[in-house]
Structure 1
Amino acid sequence: MLADVADLLLCPQCRAADVHGLALQGRTVRCPRGHSFDLAKQGYVNLLPGGVPRHADTAGMVAARERFLGSGAYAPIREAVRTAARQPSPDVSAGSLTMLEAGAGTGYYLAGCLTDRDRGLALDISPAAARRAARAHPRIGAVVADTWAGLPVRTGSIDVLLAVFAPRNPAEFARVLAPHGRALVVAPLPDHLAGLRSTLGLLDIEEDKEAHLLARMSGHLVAADSTDIRFTLRLTPAAVADLVGMGPNAFHRRSEQRAGAAEGPDPAAGAPSEVEVAVRLWEFTRA
């Protein structure tokens, strides 16, 4: 519920509430200087200045993600994230956590980590994603925001921050984390979905992705631990189509079609039934 997390939010216009946060009054979120933002009927608030960017996930992409994740296909990743998030900390009282997921999408991973004593913020640049995340768990407040532009979140207010296959802003991650806070980042390994990428001509994973990740974190966050998660999925053609259609490859294939390039194999026909998942879960602390 947004009412439970409004005090964690910063006004995107003046950022004047870094001490007191925002307040929900009826169907409006207000800052101390009088700026106001209406609550959508689906329960989320849009704190994104200007219009929605073209690269925001569409309603179709969010629906594909909801179907794919709802099938349990990535449950081992969610369980690993939950285990890491729930590690006991002497600085967190009574097991209650304040969590934030950047690039939350449907809120699948955040919802898997929360208990009824916690509170969670789901941030995503897509209103379609925020609509779904607002329903993912009764302790989630959903906000439309741009990770790259800065998180509309109070400094030092977050115990655990999640970024699962999502954009990362190391300086902002470090700013919003409490002194004892941790950032959990899930990123693909080079052989993640390799067979599927080869067969369908999907986007490649850069060879130096890990080095690039650590270099960007340097000066803001320190790698404390990492765990590799590997498993094999047996997917139906419909599940393959959802996997392709729920992420950046959906934009990639659409761009190819607009440019008149060959569409490549139909992801719903002839794709391999076995898909190898290979990701690394990083745990970072403040530098």
Structure 2
Amino acid sequence: MIACADLLSCPECGRDLGPREHTLRCPRGHSFDIAKQGYISLLTGASTKMTGDTPAMLDARADFQRAGHFTPIAAALAAAVAAMPAPPRTAHARDSGMTRPGAAVTAASAARLAATLLPIGSSGPTTTAATPATAEAVLEIGAGTGYYLAMALDAMPGARGLALDVSKPAARRSARAHERAGAVLADAWRGLPVRTGAVAAVLSVFAPRNAEEVARVLNPGGRFFVVTPTPRHLTELIEPLDMVRVDAGKTERLADSLEDRFELLDRTPVEYRMSLTHTDIANVSAMGPSAFHAAEQRAERIAALPDPFEVTASVTVSVYRPRG
């Protein structure tokens, strides 16, 4: 695994973080330990109001992803990321020696930033004068298991990844997602603990978005990739299992919410049929927004469905670039 420390900034003061023994530390002395599971927590301040995925939700999602049912979605996203133009090879943007993430950063998840992130014999934190690594970097917000980030990195040889999530169980899991990725526990709504202009691509797959912060951390020529479900996504399961329904105007509202800071470059539909067993259906209903919705009757309702059962997967992959 390659070092990812040069991509991160202190959630307390916004200055660059650098390795020191088994911690990351900024020039002002704020220090953050790397967990033995391989992720780093950049959660500070009061407890976040955001609730992340539970271990049970992540187990269900990992099983469903491992079965390959969302592979076409991940492949379409990875192809879009791999096709983006190469960004200019410039140093990360600076503002008087410090970047400016949101006021504080809390719980989240990512990929992995383990002890190998720290060079042996490191004498202290890096400073703003340090030269960043030249490898392109991809950040996934709300990374969960790190599945989509790992697919994107496989399509970009040499690129590095950061998986960020508000869930500690997700951070632990995504720390093992890919050898070229690091995992960060943080709350994206309090600001991304990432240096200004540090990443070439930001991914948001079925996850919330902080448009202002995404625009800040993208480098010149960077791209924002967003995957959203359409109203046809899992439509055959919505009524039988009383699952949460996707609003018809979701994609258009996304574009409206990003319009001030981003320009839409491309919008690609991905739709196909899945043959799901009862186990698959139990996993897909337990891994997302419907996990706690009508859960008590779910097993009985799933048992009443054919096995296997044909279900539609339908999403939109949107590509944006920052304005001006």
In the alignment, does 2:116 pair up with 1:82?
Answer: no
Amino acid across the alignment from 1:164? V
Mapping for residues 224-239 of structure 1, pairs under 5 Å:
224-239=265-280
Contact 1:237-1:270 within 8 A present in 2 as well: no
Q: 2:258 aligns with which of 217, 232, 238?
A: 217
What is the aligned partner in structure 1 of residue 281 from structure 2? Answer: 240
Q: More relative contact order in 1 or in 2 (CA 8 Å, sep 6+)? A: 2
CA distance in 2, matches of 1:37, 1:150: 17
Residue-by-residue CA offset, 1:180-200 (whole Å, 9 max, x unaligned): 000110000111111111211
CA distance in 2, matches of 1:71, 1:143: 26
CA shift for structure 1 position 24: 2.2
CA distance in 1, matches of 2:301, 2:159: 39
CA shift for structure 1 position 11: 1.1
What is the aligned partner in structure 1 of residue 304 from structure 2? Answer: 270
CA distance in 2, matches of 1:267, 1:280: 29
Mapping for residues 113-124 of structure 1, pairs under 5 Å:
113-114=152-153, 115-124=156-165
What is the aligned partner in structure 2 of residue 60 from structure 1? Answer: 56
CA shift for structure 1 position 38: 1.0
CA distance in 1, matches of 2:20, 2:65: 34
CA shift for structure 1 position 269: 1.9
Contact 1:98-1:120 within 8 A present in 2 as well: yes
What is the aligned partner in structure 2 of residue 279 from structure 1? Answer: 315
CA shift for structure 1 position 253: 3.9
Mapping for residues 87-98 of structure 1, pairs under 5 Å:
87-91=83-87, 96-98=135-137
Secondary structure of the structure 2 residue equivalent to 1:159: strand
Residue-by-residue CA offset, 1:138-185 (whole Å, 9 max, x unaligned): 111000111222111111111011101111111111111111000110
Say what the alpha-carbon RMSD is for the aligned residues. 1.9
CA distance in 1, matches of 2:87, 2:41: 32
Residue-by-residue CA offset, 1:234-265 (whole Å, 9 max, x unaligned): 111111111111111113346xx6xxxxx456
What is the aligned partner in structure 2 of residue 40 from structure 1? Answer: 35
Mapping for residues 1-287 of structure 1, pairs under 5 Å:
1=1, 4-15=3-14, 17=15, 21-49=16-44, 50-51=46-47, 53=49, 55-91=51-87, 96-114=135-153, 115-253=156-294, 263=297, 266=300, 268-271=302-305, 273-287=309-323
CA distance in 2, matches of 1:175, 1:277: 32
CA shift for structure 1 position 271: 3.5
CA distance in 2, matches of 1:72, 1:96: 29
CA distance in 1, matches of 2:87, 2:51: 38
Instruction: Give the direction of change, closer, same or farther, for the CA distance of 1:53–1:126 in structure 2 (3 Å limit).
Output: farther
CA distance in 2, matches of 1:90, 1:64: 36
CA distance in 2, matches of 1:24, 1:234: 47
Unaligned runs of 5+ in 1: 258-262
Secondary structure of the structure 1 residue equivalent to 2:192: coil
CA distance in 1, matches of 2:271, 2:301: 22
The ranges of structure 1 where at least 4 consecutive aligned residues each deviate by more than 6 angstroms after the TM superposition are none
Query: How high is the TM-score relative to the length of structure 1?
Result: 0.90
Unaligned runs of 5+ in 2: 90-133
CA shift for structure 1 position 76: 0.3
CA distance in 2, matches of 1:179, 1:213: 22
Contact 2:88-2:220 within 8 A present in 1 as well: no
CA distance in 2, matches of 1:168, 1:109: 16
Contact 1:237-1:267 within 8 A present in 2 as well: no
Secondary structure of the structure 2 residue equivalent to 1:251: coil
